[in-house]
Each structure stands twice: as C-alpha cells, then as structure tokens.
Chain A
C-alpha cells in the first residue's frame, strides 16, 4: 500500500507572494501518477495539476508548478503570484498505474494543507 504525507497542516502568505506546499509519498510502485487537488470552502474538489512518474519534466499549469523528485519520493507544489482565490485546502494524491497489477484502486490522498492567502 502507498502512503502520502503532507507535513504542513497550515500555511499563510501575503497576496502576490510565492508559496511551496510539500508532499512526500511512499510506494513500491515504479509506474504511477501524482496529483494536487484544491478544495475551497465550497468543498468542491478541483484538480490543480498532475504528473506522470515516468516523465522527468515537471508539470506546470499557469501559476502552478511542481517539483517532482522521484528518487526522493517528493512532489511539492509551487504557487506563484498567489491570489486571494487560492485560499483553500490543498491535497496531494497518488494513483498507481492500473497495469501495475492488482488492478486500479483510485486515489490515495494526504491529509491536506490549509493555505491562507492574506490581503
């Protein structure tokens, strides 16, 4: 089984600053996917960014980028030029490749980081 650890329960930064959220994971799989989801107060789960483990290039989506270190099993999220609307819970999630054997088993989530953007 895999585990996902987010060591920062809460972070607070000023608007327009850059912030990095940490995530580490433990798995014996070699082929898998990693995700960051955002959950605002509305509770809706929104995909922010995803990374395929076999890709060395770090994924980017506008102001969001990741630092994927496969050997260290680390997957941090960087938010540049933070905005008030970025205030939310952020969850790191892992999914093994369905062809890894044992079938697919959905997403494994960390406990989340509550990010607060201050005006």
Chain B
C-alpha cells in the first residue's frame, strides 16, 4: 500500500515548455486534489476531482489543466510553463469530498521554470 505517489519528484522546464505531473493513489479514494506550495506560503488548491469523471477549479487554476484518468489517477498539465509556476506541487486524496475524511498527501514534485 503506497498511498499517494507522484512523478516526477523534481523537474526543470524552460519557459513555454509543457509537462504533465502524474498522481496515483491506491486507497480506493473517490476524491483527489492538486495543490501548490510557494515559499513562505501554505498550500493553495489548484483543481480537485470529487469523483471519477468530474473536475472543478480551486483557488489558483489559471495556467493548469487536469484529467481524472480513472479512479486511481489524477494528472496536472502545464501547457506553457511560466516562471510564476515554479513551486512545489502536492497531490492529495480523500475517501470522498462530502465527508471530513482525512486528505492524504503525496511527497510532492518540485518544479522549476527558467
């Protein structure tokens, strides 16, 4: 039982490049989330998926797209990376968004955009 896994752990991009961050969970959770953490800040919600087949915008969705590929996987795509997207990205999952179940977090992806 690996919990929430994220790939890659580190990535360096040039401005304008695209990439997809992958997230998978093996806890049979319905809800999944993407957050970003900037220096000196708490995490901010980018997008979430309450259940397979649905996605919704969070606090800071601009410049990102997401795909809930199946119940296990939730990917985050940067179509044209910008230096302002340099951050640490966390994926999380919970049993369902309509409960107070704990959100379990992945180890994070450190992304640098030059």
Contacts and interface: CB of A to CB of B under 8 A. Distances in A.
Interface stretch (A11-19, A69-77, A79-87, A106-114): A106-114
B42 A112 contact: yes
A103 B49 CA distance: 12
Contacts of A99: 98
- Label chain B's interface by main secondary structure: loop
B74 interface: no
Interface of B: 33, 35, 40-45, 48, 50, 56, 58-59, 88, 90, 92, 97-98, 100, 102-103, 105, 107-108
A38 B48 CA distance: 22
A22 B88 CA distance: 25
A104 B102 contact: no
Contacts, number: 63
Given A47-B102, A50-B102, A106 B35 contact: yes
A105 B58 contact: yes
Contacts of B35: 106-107
A75 B35 CA distance: 23
B42 A104 contact: no
Contacts of A98: 97-98
B40 A107 contact: no
A113 to B, nearest CB: 11
